[in-house]
Amino acid sequence: MAEEKELNGLRINKITAILDSMRDDPAVLKAVTGPWKSRVVWQGGFKAKAYMRKHAVEMDEPDGLDASDSAASAHEQLLSAVGSCLTVGYVLNATKRGVKIHDLEIALEGNFENILKWAGHSPAGNPGYPTIKAKCFVRADADEKVLRELWQAAVDGSPVTQTVARPTQILTEFEKV
Amino acid sequence: MAQQLFPVTVVGSWTRPEWLVHALRRRQAGEITAEEFNQIADDAVLAAIKYQEDAGVDIVADGEMRRDNFYSFVVEKLSGMRLMKLSQLLDYMKDRAGFEEILRGLDVPAFAIKSPIAVAKVHGTEEGIALDEARFLKAHTRRQTKVPIPGPYLLTRSSWFEGLSDKTYPKREDLAKDIVRILRHEIEGLKRLGVDFIQLDEPSISQVVYGDEAEQTFMCAALGSRTDPTSELEFAVRLVNETVEGFKGVRFGVHVCRGNWSRKENVLLTGNYGPLLPSLMRMNVDQLVLEMATPRAGEVEVFKEYSNEKEIGLGVANPRTDEIEKPVQIVSRVKEMLRYFDPPKIFLNPDCGFGTFAERCVNTPEIAYRKLQAITEAAEILRREYH
């Protein structure tokens, strides 16, 4: 039996087969497409807990907001979600091209446009981030041109980045129980 | 042997050729042995020595060609130390938010900062820290020799990390005792080999005064936990003095700069030596090896109160610029210092090394060589004037 080759902590044959099956098998594509789900349950104060499949993530707000700061806030976790998704994309693309990564780090930041809207002091404007900066630092066995191409592929193919970067409809509903 | 006036020397590191960096990576990945690496590095050291000798340097160093950086190489020389990336230490960091601000200010990734962390009782070996470097250097030059080694404050501050070190060393002071003992043993070895000049690198001292106030900081990649500035400087003075106490017949220097990890001057620290001099002057060493070429180091007037108290290793060339300093400019800078120090007290050197970090050298060998040449030309002019 041929030895299973690993690169960047991934089994190359296995990941290639999975990617091919997404293209070739409609059932796999459907499963990967979604729906993806999260259920967020209030925990008191500004705390919330998000349940996703078998995982749970806590969220809180900084103590400057009279919260307990027991976890990162939701908007920080949004930055982290963008960075994590870009990380996954970079590793995927590097592995497909046979590039060994030694270190990979993404630094993200954003400023709210008008947080006074969240605070209820301003009726207009965007309370969210109008821009998010994401800087990738990588040390890998390829020349800079290749590493930049991998970054661009990661950005273009990132579901979270592209969700945040495009106008995304959020269909809200409400029910009093 | 009487020392001629205005001896020219280097701070230590030389710029690394790509093939050496490649070999270093292979050694770190375990693809070649330390012995195989050293054979490759021998050629690089010989080239570094030749550059210095050809440029007219009087006191030469081996260029730190075997080191990955100026201090973290000790992990391979000492047991009980582990080289850890800052990205591996984030889980243990107390003030992570403060540290994040420093990283962003410097625009560096956490994985690029590596620190030797004491994870068990730290022991030296008979091989020493830089004895192999010194032995090879002595065998391949007839000039006087300088060996830079990490200073006791730098090593203690950078390698004691709460959550990892405190099981063996409850306090930083406990680790400091072992560091001082190891460095004293090293100095004995270097002296036996006939090294002329031992330089203790203490760049993180400047971070105490000029740096960010975060509890955990880094300076030239030297991670560190610190207390208030007064206590820190007192601690540094005590450790340096304990390290050099009783040794005779070798010149001791302490090198303090404001950072040499980037060519972006705005990310390096700024401030004159004034706040540090009361402490530096209490260190029982012969010479202070200081950067003075960069405007970030401030004015020489701060030395007025300390006239002739020590030798000054005067930094007269910026290792991070492409422009070659003109000998007349260097002469003029030296003359400013001659207002406070007699000619025999002044040595000339670049502000810092040319390759403090093997993978982040700040200049090419050609430019480094021409900068040294400019310094030796300036020294000749000065010798003619002050003979």
Cross-chain residue pair B109–A137, CB shorter than 8 Å: yes
| Shortest alpha-carbon distance between residue A46 and chain B (Å) | 20
Residue B308: which pLDDT band, with cuts at 50, 70 and 90? very high
pLDDT of residue A54: 95
Collect all residues of chain A within an 8 Å Cβ-Cβ radius of residue B99.
none
pLDDT digits (tens, 9 = 90+) for A115-128: 999 999 999 999 99
Please, are residues B178 and B92 in contact by the beta-carbon 8 Å criterion? Answer: no
- Reduced to 3 states, what is the DSSP secondary structure of residue B70? coil
- Do A105 and B85 make contact, defined as CB atoms within 8 angstroms? no
pLDDT for B267 = 63
Tokens representing residue B104 in the block = 């962003």
- Determine if the peptide bond prior to A35 is cis (ω within 30°): yes
For residue A32, which amino acid is it? Answer: V
**Per-domain residue ranges of chain A:** 1-34, 36-72, 73-167
pLDDT of residue B227: 65
Question: Which B residues in the span 86-105 are in contact with A, Cβ-Cβ below 8 Å?
Answer: 87, 103-104
* Parallel, antiparallel or unpaired: strands A47-52 and A39-44: antiparallel
- B107: pLDDT confidence band, cut at 50, 70 and 90? confident
- pLDDT tens digits along B280-304: 999 999 999 999 988 777 788 999 9
B18-386 belongs to which CATH class? alpha beta
Q: For residue B212, name the pLDDT band (cuts at 50, 70, 90).
A: low
ipTM over 0.85: no
Contact B109 A103 (CB under 8 A): yes
Contact A58, A70 (CB under 8 A): yes
Confidence of residue A105 (pLDDT cuts 50, 70, 90): very high
* Digit-coded pLDDT (tens) for A10-60: 999 999 999 999 999 999 999 999 999 999 999 999 999 999 999 999 999
What's the CA gap between B70 and B88, in Å, rounded?
21
Sequence-distant (≥ 6) Cβ neighbours of residue A122 within 8 angstroms: A114, A116
Which CATH code for domain A73-167?
A: 3.30.300.20
CB atoms B109 and A109 under 8 Å = no
Beta carbons of B111 and A109 less than 8 Å apart: no
Question: Distance (Å, rounded) from C-alpha A75 to C-alpha A77?
Answer: 5
Tokens 């850890």 -> residue: B84
Q: How far is B104 from chain A (nearest CA, A)?
A: 8
Q: A62 to chain B nearest CA, in Å?
A: 12
Residue-wise pLDDT tens digits, B159-178: 999 899 999 999 999 999 99
